[in-house]
Amino acid sequence: MKGTVHFLIVSLCLVAACSRPGGSPPQQDPRIELFEKFNRATSYDEVQPLFSGVLATQLEQVHEKPGSNTTAVLNRLRLASYSPRIVEINENTSFLVLDNARFVDGRSGRQAYLLTRLPDKSWRLSNRVPPESIVKSLWTREYAPAEFNQPSSCSISGREFPPSISGKQWAMQSAVAIRDKDKIEIDLYPFPVSQAELDNWKYMGMVHEKTSAQDPLISKPHSTCRIVLGLNPSGEINSMNIGFDSPDLHTSTLWQSSDFPRIEVSKNKIKIQTAGTVTAGSTIRWNCKIDLPLLDRGL
């Protein structure tokens, strides 16, 4: 009898502990629960309430297409295992990143989804995104095109270049600096940045609803000069290369520079003043003095 009473007392204590806030099991993030519902779904009716935006549009197109098989599409997207994490943007927007993802058919690779919150505070999966291409900075802050519209110049010469570009000097009108893992790349463009370019970079690699009435110039062939700064594991600059790209001529060249320019790098800003000439068979000359937002790529 004494043992029975002792067992009941212990059991009641455990129940009480679980009833207290400190003893409650942690609740799973509703955004992760949302994805789990999608990952288990096998039909249009199960998935339709979970989607909004681009994914909702794509789902309707698949569902309404004669002869299409929604279940087969869902099976193709189903994951057998993954490690979820949330990247917060604001109270109504976030990204769900699925590290160590493995599909049921054996494929593998990191996945990510854009999540949006509706007026009723419920979350929806609204887009499937490439995690390595997302420029997170453009999601967390609004930038004005004028912040990127700063002049610079560059020229290349050499026998391997056609007369149309050898010796020509480009008056660059804008620049964008992006930090990605072990490098910072500054691309110099021969046109001013508009809102269309910012939208293009924000939705890089994504299917999206058009947000600007103007087509981005960045999507058209153009010559670009670039400065590539290598970073060591501590995030310090340890190398500099100067590059030139011309899609029209199928040319992409990179020169290594031994001179380090004046550079100031903070979390969200980069100032660089550099001018010089590098000759290694061919020659590149550049002159650049810019103060730019430093954008971060990758989730």
Residues 168 and 87 in one domain: no
Residues 121 and 162 in one domain: no
The pLDDT of residue 139 is 95
Closest C-alpha to 79, from 52, 41, 27: 41
Residues 121 and 247 in one domain: no
Q: Looking at 107, 129, 151, which one is the last position of a domain?
A: 129
Residues 156 and 31 in one domain: no
Closest C-alpha to 178, from 62, 75, 297, 82: 297
Residue 78 sits in a domain whose CATH number is: 3.10.450
The pLDDT of residue 206 is 77
Q: Are strands 152-157 and 183-189 parallel, antiparallel or unpaired?
A: unpaired
Q: Looking at 76, 106, 129, which one is the last position of a domain?
A: 129
**Residue 276: pLDDT over 70:** yes
Q: What domain range is 274 assigned to? A: 137-296
The pLDDT of residue 23 is 47
Confidence label for 55 from pLDDT (cuts 50, 70 and 90): very high
The pLDDT of residue 19 is 34
| Domain count along the chain | 2
Instruction: Kindly report the pTM of this predicted structure.
Output: 0.81
Q: What is the mean pLDDT of residues 95-120?
A: 95
The pLDDT of residue 10 is 34
Three-class SS state of 180: strand
Residues 156 and 277 in one domain: yes
Q: Looking at 129, 156, 175, which one is the last position of a domain?
A: 129
Confidence label for 157 from pLDDT (cuts 50, 70 and 90): confident
Closest C-alpha to 114, from 40, 199, 55: 55
Q: For the segment 223-275, what is each residue's pLDDT rounded down to a tens digit? A: 789 999 999 988 888 899 998 887 766 677 888 887 777 788 988 999 999 88
**Residue 16: pLDDT over 50:** no
**Residue 114: pLDDT over 90:** yes
Q: For the segment 62-80, what is each residue's pLDDT rounded down to a tens digit? A: 888 887 788 899 999 999 9
Residues 283 and 175 in one domain: yes
- Token look-up 């029209």 returns 248
d(CA 246, CA 248): 5
Q: For the segment 187-221, what is each residue's pLDDT rounded down to a tens digit? A: 999 999 999 889 888 887 777 665 544 555 555 66
Tell me the β-bridge partners of 127: 114
Contact of 142 with 278, CB cutoff 8 Å: no
Tell me the β-bridge partners of 51: 125
Mean pLDDT score of the chain: 84
**Residue 18: pLDDT over 50:** no
Residues 92 and 204 in one domain: no
Give the percent of the chain with pLDDT over 90: 55
